[in-house]
Structures are given as structure tokens and as C-alpha cells.
Amino acid sequence: MADSTTSTPPPAAEVTSALTPINIVLLSLFVFLLYMRLKPAAPQTLPRPPPATVFRTFTPPTLLPYNGLNGMPIYFAVRGRVFDVTSGRNFYGPGGPYANFAGRDASRGLACGSFDEEMLTKDLEGPLDKLEDLGDEEMEALQGWEERFSEKYLVVGKIVPVGSEEAD
């Protein structure tokens, strides 16, 4: 039998908007994080390279200013080769334990294991120290120093006596 009661239609579905305050906040946060992740990075700036060092010929007087004073680099010679020891400024620069070798030929002092002023050539205009009076042990010690400097520092030139053809 048919039911004489009339049925009521089902209630209409409630329509909700996606633009709720929480959704707007979440969408804004998502867009911000996406922007932060994808924005182009500022270009990296690399440190300036040191000025190019040209291999040159020094005489004792022209080597002397390279003693670390007045912003100058620190050079010294070992067995005719001039090394740039500026990166070891704490040792070879003003006030360092090897400061008296800066701007000079350090060969005799290194060979003898002495850092005294007496080990330096007094006459800068005279001939270079040929180290002929050194013994085998001293020459071996000097060779060890020279190898150590060759591994650690850049050779920037050679030292020749004043008045030689190479000095001109």
C-alpha cells in the first residue's frame, strides 16, 4: 500500500566557500615560502685576487724595501732565489722572529741556524755571499730550508750582485 504521507525532500547541501580566513593565511604562507625558495640569489662576490707577481731580478739594494714596512710585501733570498713570504708576516715581518731576514739574503743565517744581524751581508753594494766557507751540515740545513720555502712560498725572482749585466 501506498503511504499517504508525503515525504519531504532532503535538505539542500550547504555550500561552503574555500576562502575561509585559515585558508587565506595558509595560501599566503605557501606563496611566501615558494617565493623565498625560488627567488634568485644575490650574485656572489669573490675576493679580489692579489696583484700578479712578475718574476724579476733583484740586487741587494732593490730587495731591501721588501721588508714588510709601509705596506710592502715581504721578500727574502735563499741561495739566489727570492721568495715572497708575505703570507708568513707573523714570522718574517716586523716584530717577527725572522724579521731581520726580510728584504735581505737569508742564506747564511738559515744555514748556520742563527738569526743574528751578523749573519747578514753588511755591504749591499758588494758581491753576494757565495757561502764557500760553509760545511756539509750547514749546506744540508740550508737545502732543507730552501726546499721548505719552495713548497710553501712563491718564487718571485732572483738576486744578483750590483753592477752585473742581469741587474740592468
> Can you give the pLDDT at residue 152?
93
Using alpha carbons, select from 97, 39, 103, 106 the residue that is nearest to residue 78. Answer: 106
Answer whether 74's CB lies under 8 Å from 93's CB.
Answer: yes
Burial 5-27 (b: 16+ CB within 10 A, else e): eeeeeeeeeeeeeeeeeeeeeee
Does a structural domain hold residue 25? no
Cα separation, 96 vs 119, whole angstroms = 17
Does a structural domain hold residue 28? no
Mean pLDDT value across residues 11-17: 67
> Can you give the pLDDT at residue 146?
94
Q: How many CA atoms lie within 13 A of 7 on its CB side?
A: 5
Query: Would the pLDDT of 5 be above 80?
Result: no
Mean pLDDT value across residues 43-52: 80
Does a structural domain hold residue 16? no
As given in the structure block, the three cell numbers for residue 92 are 718574517
Does a structural domain hold residue 141? yes
> Can you give the pLDDT at residue 54?
81
Q: What is the CATH number of the domain that holds 154?
A: 3.10.120.10
Mean pLDDT value across residues 37-62: 85
Does a structural domain hold residue 64? yes
Does a structural domain hold residue 19? no
Does a structural domain hold residue 4? no
> Can you give the pLDDT at residue 20?
87
**Which residue did the predictor score with more confidence, 61 or 8?**
61
Query: What does pLDDT average to over the chain?
Result: 87
> Can you give the pLDDT at residue 11?
67
Does a structural domain hold residue 50? no
Q: What is the tens place of the pLDDT at every residue in 73-132?
A: 999 999 999 999 999 999 999 999 989 999 999 999 999 988 888 888 788 888 888 888
Cα separation, 19 vs 153, whole angstroms = 68
Domain extent, residue 140, equals: 56-159
What's the number of domains the chain is made of?
1
Q: What global pTM score does this model have?
A: 0.68
